[in-house]
Amino acid sequence: MKKIVIIGAGYAGILTAKKLAKRFKKNNDVSVTVIDKNPFHTMLTELHEVAAGRVEEDSIRISYKKVFSGRNVQFVHDLVESIDFENKRVSGKNVVYEYDYLVMSAGSKPTYFGVPGAEEHAFPLWSFEDAVKLKNQILNCFRQASVEPDEETKRRLLSFFVVGAGFTGAEMAGELAEYVPILCDKFEIDRELVNITIADFLPRVVTTMPEKLSAKIQKRLEKMGVQVLLNTRVTEIGKQHICLDTGEENTNTCQAGTIIWVAGIESAMIAMKAGETVPCERRGRLNTDRYLRCPDHESMYIAGDNLFYIPPGETEPVPQMVENCEQSAHTVAHNIACAITGKGEMEAYQPKFHGEMVSLGGRYGVAHVGTAKRMFSLPSFLAMFAKHLINIVYFVQVLGWNKVFSYLKHEFFTIRNKRSFVGGHFSNRTPSFLLVLLRLWLGAVWIFEGVMKVVEGWLKTPKLEGFFGGANAWFDALLNKTGAVTAATTQAAADAVTSATGGAADTGAAVGTVLINWNILGLFKLIFVSGKPLSDSTLSDFAFKLDIPALTWFIDKLIMPSDGVQLAMQIFIVAAEVLIGLSLIGGLFTTPSSALSLVLMFMFAATTGLYLSNFWMVFSAVAFLFGAGSVFGLDYYASPLLKRRWRHIGWVRRSYLYHD
């Protein structure tokens, strides 16, 4: 039995574990154990969103039990205290773990550079707990200030200092600046009483970005009401003050209600301790060879923030960023698999980074992306879009649909105060009970259509030839301007185009008005016509059709030649219409019923066409796709029960095909 132990389940650790589990899925002789001091994974890049009240706390927290469910990975909630490299043992606070291969991916923690009072009085932002504490601190400052009669004390409570103008500092300052007007309105506080300052000893903000973009970030922060102090060193932090050295003769002491420390990071304590016995650089980053192995102990691999490696042709070590975690996880997992199986060649770490992105609140972003040979900047809208897309790609790897759905919900569908780059357009709340009558009416219409088809003999004799053929003849007559068609064809067309959805049009003349007849890339035709001259047309005269050659071939070759197949198709349509109607009226299984309703409407649009007067059925079905039956419907009782049972099915949990 080969034992792989991974210390830390941050970005690098969690991906390394999942990749190893996939490689050894069918090999019971290899075990993967992940040890972390927390029972959940934290999205560190989104901490500022929680701290400044944009998203809920659970949006940045991912349960390890859910991530590793059904996989050959054992997660252990423990704190690693030491490593015995000679005997290959990891000592946790609770248990000692033996290993054959060790992965150090313990991540980082804040570093305070020896600034007096910083660790005691400042609020760091490098963990889930940090974000929650800071969120409560900000709210408490506004609560206290709202009842404080003394203006000087009020101003102190409302003075916020962000120490460090790197990625995290700029994002925290921008997020806070966006949040402050909302809090001022909530607590009835004059915005002029609030002060937000960001300070850094470097000459510009986010120095890893080009100077032009740094200037753009600074300009945006200042526009949001943030005071930017550069070339400024913090010399001391007290409970209610901060001392700033601007290079002048005197040090400025400023009153402060909240000081947020995001000035730098160093490796986690266990990595720092390991660095006492293995090759190590400053701030506890561990040296690796090109395969990301420790030079002194080839059974130990390093991934993510803990590794120190300068790729060939580069002068600087790989940056401590998420993309480095993702790419190093791939290399580490591949090389461990090669070492264990003896198959394949080990992979040298050759990272290819694709840029950096900074969000200043939920509505504005700056991005510098591309490849090593060509980098370019994105406008704000595309920068924010890229940020969310990258997060979704990461979530697909970690927790699949479950986390993607949760992320979209938190970032777009429930966002308050328009704090999104698309505003609040996706998060406006409409009381669901207002849709109940529409749901009942749509259900009744579907039942009516099904019953009428039964009356017309759809369950007894084949009718699809006339159903499809009459409609096709009518559309062909309009498109080809062949003049009036026979009365029989006209009546068949009327029956076909209206039977599915109850539309009614005067088809006494087959020649009307062709408004659209577009051939889309040779794949299908988009047809929009009126059965009458345009000046005489009403809504029920306009018909829409998708002419899809592949579907036409399928109907002509596989359905029409057989009366039995036609009859089976007719029975399916009738049964579907009646069941959809009953489902919507009862409010049971409304999501699959609405989806099936859309499928039927698409089928009708692609065969007989649809009148515009019946498009309300399409839009209604879209409105009922999510949760329509939870108000005055049976889904109110059935959905919670089914969701609980569904997510406990083994393959469902392994595939993450559920949402909480």
| Each residue's pLDDT tens digit, 172-200 | 999 999 999 999 999 999 999 999 999 99
**Per-residue confidence (pLDDT) for residue 429, from 0 to 100:** 73
Backbone φ and ψ of 436, nearest 5°: -60, -45
- The percentage of residues in the chain with a pLDDT greater than 70, rounded to a whole number, is 95
- The least confident of 83-87, 330-334, 445-449, 607-611 is 607-611
| Of 496 and 12, more confident | 12
Fill in the DSSP letter of residue 344: S
Burial class (CB in 10 A: 0-12, 13-18, 19+), 361: buried
The structure tokens listed for 476 are: 């062909």
Instruction: Using the predicted structure, report yes or no on whether residue 487 has a pLDDT greater than 60.
Output: no
**Per-residue confidence (pLDDT) for residue 477, from 0 to 100:** 86
Q: What is the mean pLDDT of residues 493-507?
A: 46
Reported as a pLDDT band with limits 50, 70 and 90, residue 498 is low
Coil, strand or helix: which one is 240?
coil
**Per-residue confidence (pLDDT) for residue 480, from 0 to 100:** 83
Same fold for the pair 2-107+267-351 and 118-263: yes
The structure tokens listed for 233 are: 């060193």
Give the whole-angstrom CA distance, residue 429 versus residue 431: 6
What pLDDT, in 10s, does the model give residues 316-335?
Answer: 999 999 999 999 999 999 99
CATH of the domain spanning 2-107+267-351, picked from 3.30.70.260, 3.90.1640.10, 3.40.50.10860, 3.50.50.100 = 3.50.50.100
Give the whole-angstrom CA distance, residue 149 versus residue 644: 52
Coil, strand or helix: which one is 18?
helix
Backbone φ and ψ of 75, nearest 5°: -95, 135
What pLDDT, in 10s, does the model give residues 276-294?
Answer: 999 999 999 999 999 999 9
Q: Which residues pair with 82 in a beta bridge?
A: 91
Give the whole-angstrom CA distance, residue 141 versus residue 158: 6
Residue reference for tokens 């210390």: 7
> Which sign does the torsion angle of CA 447, 449, 455, 458 carry?
negative
DSSP element (H, E) containing 347 = none
Give the whole-angstrom CA distance, residue 386 versus residue 419: 17
Give the whole-angstrom CA distance, residue 266 versus residue 308: 12
Instruction: Using the predicted structure, report yes or no on whether residue 569 has a pLDDT greater than 60.
Output: yes
What pLDDT, in 10s, does the model give residues 12-24?
Answer: 999 999 999 999 9
> Which sign does the torsion angle of CA 313, 319, 321, 322 carry?
positive
Q: What pTM value is reported for the model?
A: 0.86
- The least confident of 111-115, 376-380, 498-502 is 498-502
- Rounded to the nearest 5 degrees, what angle is found at the Cα of 113, between the Cα atoms of 110 and 118? 70
Burial class (CB in 10 A: 0-12, 13-18, 19+), 3: middle
Give the whole-angstrom CA distance, residue 240 versus residue 533: 79
Reported as a pLDDT band with limits 50, 70 and 90, residue 250 is confident
Query: Of the candidates 39, 36, 47, which has an alpha carbon nearest to the alpha carbon of residue 126?
Result: 47
Give the whole-angstrom CA distance, residue 320 versus residue 307: 9
Instruction: Find out if CATH 3.40.30.10 is the number for domain 118-263.
Output: no
Q: Are 143 and 150 in contact (CB under 8 A)?
A: no
The structure tokens listed for 15 are: 């991906």
Round the average pLDDT of the chain to a whole number and report it. Answer: 92
Q: What is the mean pLDDT of residues 486-506?
A: 45
Instruction: Using the predicted structure, report yes or no on whether residue 500 has a pLDDT greater than 70.
Output: no
Other Cβ atoms less than 10 A from the Cβ of 57: the count is 11
Query: Of the candidates 482, 453, 477, which has an alpha carbon nearest to the alpha carbon of residue 609?
Result: 477
Instruction: Using the predicted structure, report yes or no on whether residue 494 has a pLDDT greater than 70.
Output: no
Give the whole-angstrom CA distance, residue 391 versus residue 445: 42
Give the E-state strand segments of 320-456 in sequence order.
355-359, 365-370, 375-378
Give the whole-angstrom CA distance, residue 351 versus residue 314: 11
Instruction: Using the predicted structure, report yes or no on whether residue 434 has a pLDDT greater than 90.
Output: no
Instruction: Using the predicted structure, report yes or no on whether residue 548 has a pLDDT greater than 60.
Output: yes
Query: Of the candidates 237, 296, 301, which has an alpha carbon nearest to the alpha carbon of residue 263?
Result: 237
**Per-residue confidence (pLDDT) for residue 484, from 0 to 100:** 43
AA letter at 331? T
**Per-residue confidence (pLDDT) for residue 506, from 0 to 100:** 43
Give the whole-angstrom CA distance, residue 656 versus residue 404: 10
Side-chain-facing half-sphere of 115: CA atoms under 13 Å:
26
Instruction: Using the predicted structure, report yes or no on whether residue 511 has a pLDDT greater than 90.
Output: no
Domain boundaries along the sequence of the chain:
2-107+267-351, 118-263, 435-645
Instruction: Using the predicted structure, report yes or no on whether residue 490 has a pLDDT greater than 70.
Output: no
Q: What is the largest CA-CA distance in the chain?
A: 100
Reported as a pLDDT band with limits 50, 70 and 90, residue 247 is confident
